[in-house]
Amino acid sequence: MTVITRFAPSPTGHLHVGNIRAALHNWLWARKSGGRFLLRLDDTDLERSRPEYADAIRADLTWLGLHWDGEERQSDRFAPYEQKFEALKAAGRVYPAYETAQELDLRRKVLLGRGLPPVYDRAALSLTPEQIAAYEAEGRAPHWRFRLDHDRPIVWTDLIRGEQRFDPKLLSDPVIRRADGSWLYMLPSVIDDVAMGVTHVLRGEDHVSNTATQIQMFEAMGAPLPSFAHEALLTGSEGKLSKRLGSLGVAHFRERGIEPMAIISLLARLGSSQPIEPFADRTPLVESFDFAHFGRAPARFDETELATLNQKIVHLLPYEAVADRLPQGMDAAAWDAIRPNLETVAGAADWWRIVTGPIDPPEAEADDRDYLAAARDILSEASFDADVWRRLTDALKDRTGRKGKALFLPLRRALTGLDHGPDMARMLPLIGRDEALRRLSA
C-alpha cells in the first residue's frame, strides 16, 4: 500500500501555526513511508475563498520546504459531488430539512435548558407532503442532512487516541449542503479522500466527532476507511487555548527572522515524548516521526522556545545556506566569525557594519590612551595574518603588564565600539590593518 496523506486548508485566510503543524506532520508521515503528500484546497465556500489566499498557502508551504506531490481544488470537483449526492439520496442516506437557522437555534437552546444534548431530532423525516408543499410555497428551499445509521456504534482505533467509540444516536445528522446548493465540508472531504486514495487522515482533535460521522459516509459509499490520527490542540505559553495562535503564521515568523528549520524542529515534535532539538536537516525528523510518540495532553507552543531554537539553528548553518542573505562583501570567514553571536541571520548585517565601519567608539579612559597608542605601534609592525590578535595581546601583556579585562576590553572598545561581540581573534583580520590602525589612533 502506498501511503497517501493530504493537507486540506480552506483558502479563506492565511495559515496559522496550528495549520502548519498539521501540514508538517502529514508531510513527515508521507516522507517516512515513501508515500505521497497531497495539497487539497477546500474552496467550496466560493464567497470567502480567494486566489490570493491559495497563492499564500502555496508560498508558505514552499518556504517551509513542505513540497507536495499533487494538488486538487474542490471547486473543480462539483460534478462528482453531485453524482455521489444523488446516489446517497437514492439510497435514503441524505434527506431534505426545512428548518430555518433561527428555528434550529431555538431548539438547541430548549434542549440545553433541559440539560439534554442539542441533537437534531430528525423532525424533517416526519414531514408530510402537505407540510413540504407549504414550506416551498413560502419560498423555503431545503438544506440537506446525511442520515446516520443508529443501529450500531461507530468505532475506530485512532493512531494517537486509541479506541474511539461513538453512539450515533447522540450525534446530529450533519448538514452536508446548504439551502442555496453550496457544499459544507463533511461530504466533499470524504468523496475527495476516496478519489485521491488517501490512506491516512491526520488532523486536530477538534475533528474527532466529524470523523465519527464521516466514517459512516465512507461506509455508505462502499469505500475503504483511511487510518485516522487526531492530535491534541496547541495551547499558548500561558497554558490555555489562545486566540493569538490563530494569528501566528509564516509572515509573522519571517518578520522575526525565524528560520524554516526552527519552525520544523519545534512543531515536528511538539506534543510528543521526543526531545525538541535544533535540526538543520529534515532527515532525522522524518526518520523518527511516529504517531506512537504523541499523547493526548495539549501541546504548549512558546515563542520564546522557538526563538532559542532558532538561535541554535543559526549557529549550525553553513555559509552556503545563507550566502544570498548576507551583506555584500561578507564571505565565509566573516560568517564563521560572526555566526556564534547571532540570534537571526539578519543580525549579521549589524555585525558586518562593525567590521566595515564607520563606528562610534566611546571615548577612551585617560589611563587607556597610552595603552591604545602602544597597541597601534605594535600592530603597525606586526604581521597581519590570522594570528595577529594573539601576537598583539601577547606583546601588550609583556610591555604593560596588563591582563584579563584590562588587557582586552579597551582594545575591543576601540576596534568595535562595543564591550562584547564575536571573538576578536577572528574579528581583527576582518577589520584589516589600515582600518584597525585608524580606529586605534582615533
Q: Residues within the annotated binding site?
A: 243
Q: What angle, rounded to 10 degrees, do the helices at 208-220 and 186-196 form?
A: 60
Report H helices in 326-404. 332-338, 348-356, 366-381, 388-400
Q: Longest C-alpha distance within the chain, in Å? A: 110
Listed in order, strand segments (DSSP E) in 256-397 are: 299-300
**Which has the closest alpha carbon to 153: 166, 164, 163?**
166
Q: Which residues are annotated as a binding site for ATP?
A: 243
Burial profile 303-312: b = 16 or more Cβ within 10 angstroms, e = fewer: beebebbbbe
What gap in Å lies between CA 50 and CA 73, rounded to an integer? 12
Half-sphere exposure of 250 (CA within 13 A, CB side): 22
What gap in Å lies between CA 9 and CA 41, rounded to an integer? 6
Dihedral in degrees, nearest 10, Cα atoms 92, 93, 94, 95: 50
Pairing of strands 143-146, 154-158: unpaired
Integer CA distances (angstroms), 263 to 31, 145, 394, in order: 18, 40, 45
**Which has the closest alpha carbon to 300: 205, 233, 229, 204?**
233
421 backbone φψ class: left, alpha, beta (φ>0; ψ -120 to 50): left
Give the three cell numbers for residue 336: 564563521
**Which has the closest alpha carbon to 258: 343, 146, 355?**
343
What does DSSP assign to residue 224?
P
Pairing of strands 227-231, 200-204: parallel
What gap in Å lies between CA 276 and CA 40, rounded to an integer? 29
What gap in Å lies between CA 329 and CA 335, rounded to an integer? 11
